[in-house]
Structure 1
Amino acid sequence: MYVDENIAYNVRHDINDLNQLKYTESLFIEIEKSNSQNIVVGVVYRPPDQNIDEFNKYIDAVLCKITGQENKLLYIMGDFNINLFNDDVHKPTGEFVDVITSYSLYPSITKPTRITRKSATLIDNFFTNNYANQTSGIILTDISDHLPIFVSTNLSVYGKDTNDVVIEIRDMSVQNIDTLKDNLRKVDWANVCENHDANTSYNKFIDKFKEVFDECIPKKVVKKSRTKNRMPRAPWITYSLLKCIRRKNKLFKKQIQKPTDANVQRYKMYRNRLNSLLRRAKQNYFSSQLNKERFNMRNTWKILNSVLRCPKKTSCQKFVSNNETYTDPPKVANKFNEFLQALVPH
């Protein structure tokens, strides 16, 4: 579960401790609100082979505590691996729905979240007792065999003004740039050129230039909405590849809506070709970065850590090379350096 750093919350260990089921995973937090009800948010994963009757008892205990005893708003989400479409033909599934609805919780998702050529099941969901003023839906994308789901609500969970980011910018318009050029031409640079000390001349030049720059292109404070910030894409994803990804998503949506053999085959061929291009682009990018920083060991390690996603503090206990295992720290370091040097062409 990811929670914005500007949201005040506590982990509900008392609720988490209710989970005594083997393999079932859960996490609950409580978002603190000073002027209204606190909000409890939970995420649950139930494996397919988990006994549903035992799971229903666990969910009943959780809901009894949050909504029955504490009377708080609740959002519980996850992969329950319980197909709600079978609630009228499968007794344990029907009992699960009865438990959920008995505490005034209702599902936000009502369409299939896992679709194959032979089946369509509703096993992922958001259950909430705050079903007013919310938008929910399913995202048609192939990042997983389960379709991503979402719920958007108008509940405010941030403090004052935290929805906006305050930044300083300069108006680099053509008019301001031309004004800067004209004013720089009018500056008397004699005291800069006549000085025989290079450092003093440089400092005088920078001070004068900044003075004119600030006058012609002043800073101004603007607010930028958090909701309009887009996640940065990976550096190896070009605009052409981005267009290809959008094209693949359209083909995926089409083969979900009309799963003919032709549509499925067209999507799979395009997806496989695109995955190959993405792997090659990523490989070429990091190869280029490593080659560019081959004489800078610090930056080389930064690149390697970003690829391997290693923790900042790690230690290599052993190194295997040519079927030989090295455990002595100096030998491990030397062998690893030899391995890195062999990666970069001289």
Structure 2
Amino acid sequence: MLILGAEDVHQVLDGAEKDVLEAVRRAYVLHDQGRTALPHSVFLRFPDDRRNRIIGLPAYLGDETPVGGVKWVSSFPGNVAAGLRRASAAIIMNSMATGMPEAFVEGSVISARRTAASAALAAATLTARTPDTGVSLVGCGVINFEVLRFLRAALPDLAEVTLFDLDQDRARAFADRCGGQWPDLKVSSAGTADEALAAHRLVSLATTAATPYLTTEACRPGTLVLHLSLRDLTADSVLAAVNVVDDADHVCREATSLHLAEQRTGGRDFIQAPIGAVLADADAGRRAEDRVTVFSPFGLGVLDLAVADLVRRRAEALSLGTRLPGFLPAPD
């Protein structure tokens, strides 16, 4: 068994944004081609506790070197107040020849970066007539910092960011970190979420909201909203938008904003396209100039596998990680 910890994952992925973007793009295209297996995620919830959860995402990604496995990821928002990460995760990768587990990989770094890469890929694909030069980030946590990292890699004209978080100290700390990472980036803060939505025509929502609280009325026409946390927008806002998803069957579950919109209308006609189809058709990428476009990715397990496979292959080439002999029982 190969065990790769957070330091190993960082050593492979830091500075490899272009490679992660390509791995995520390839996974989306393979999924659109029907070359994946993606059962519904399993949500483990707890009695009298609707805030915390652990999710299991099994997946198979078929290619020249197929990959199978599962991500086990927890979300405990109360960790943040204690100075801990909200999310933690592990990824188990199985041999497609024997089915045996052969790698155990720290998953929270991979999870954050594949989420950010999917957002940046959507922003680079669902383009406007004029290039996006600024982005508004609602929620100043790990995910939106990674989103900003990948947007900077995917959108060369991006030069400005506007921040909003209910916790002003978090917003200030986020701004300081941005200044240290990208001294050339203009960073400002908004007093309200609506002010942030109006500041730029590219918006990323990455919060811990459990129920919808936000409309897109403050957005300018032609805005692309990267709806990563999936429960920020009201059903009315979803129904008024052009909607692109990663997979409709996966995203219309567990009381997401799109699930509520489906329950309201009795169907999914409000969803225009999956991102895999948009990536496969260059003419489908232009976003509407007279409406808001919303990209809502559930976060498919095949993305985790694609990036985990990138990490494992490069880690093995660099002799990173720990080999644990005797993890599995000896053959009969």
What TM-score range do you get, normalising by the shorter chain?
A: under 0.3
Q: Which has the larger radius of gyration?
A: 1
Relative to the length of structure 2, the TM-score reads 0.24
Q: Which is bigger in relative contact order (C-alpha 8 A, separation at least 6)?
A: 2
More strand by share: 2
Relative to the length of structure 1, the TM-score reads 0.23
More helix by share: 1
